């Protein structure tokens, strides 16, 4: 079964502290992994995708196929990083093309 697990509902850190938002997935084939961010009452925005291997707003994520993980990391959190973060999966070769989402982690960065 295809599944995305984000074990933390809420993650609270102080400004300047490192952040790691965990994401584990279950998928039998070859997946695409994404991180989407949702600021308060706004639309979801694509933050990262594993195939691009880029850093956006200081965030990075590495796909670890052995551990089936795609954790999101940032070395120094900023207050403006406070938002809801969703890890999502899409299977290569699927006809639907839809994303399967985790339940999300709310990141709160305190001053």
Which residues is 5 bridged to in the sheet? Answer: 24
Per-residue binding letters, 30-69, with other proteins (x by CB under 8 A): --x---x----xxxxxx--x-x------------------
Phi, psi at 99, each rounded to 5°: -95, 145
Phi, psi at 81, each rounded to 5°: -80, -10
Q: Is 26 a residue that touches other proteins (CB under 8 A)?
A: no
Q: How many residues does the chain have?
A: 111
CB of 93 to other proteins, least distance (A): 7
Structure tokens at 32: 């695409």
Closest by CA position to 27, among listed 56, 79, 68, 72: 68
List the one residue from 50, 69, 101, 108 that touches other proteins (CB under 8 A).
101
Q: Is 21 a residue that touches other proteins (CB under 8 A)?
A: no
Can you give the binding site for other proteins, defined by CB under 8 A?
6, 9, 32, 36, 41-46, 49, 51, 86, 90-104
């Amino acid at each position: 079964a295809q599944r995305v697990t984000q074990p933390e509902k809420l993650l609270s850190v102080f400004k300047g502290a490192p952040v790691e938002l965990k994401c584990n997935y279950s998928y039998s084939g070859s997946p695409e992994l994404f991180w989407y961010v949702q600021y308060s009452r706004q639309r979801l925005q694509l933050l990262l995708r594993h195939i691009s291997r880029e850093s956006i707003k200081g965030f990075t994520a590495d796909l670890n196929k052995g551990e089936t993980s795609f954790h999101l990391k940032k070395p120094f959190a900023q207050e403006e990083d406070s938002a809801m973060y969703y890890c999502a999966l899409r299977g290569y070769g699927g006809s639907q093309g839809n994303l399967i989402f985790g339940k999300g982690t709310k990141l709160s960065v305190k001053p």
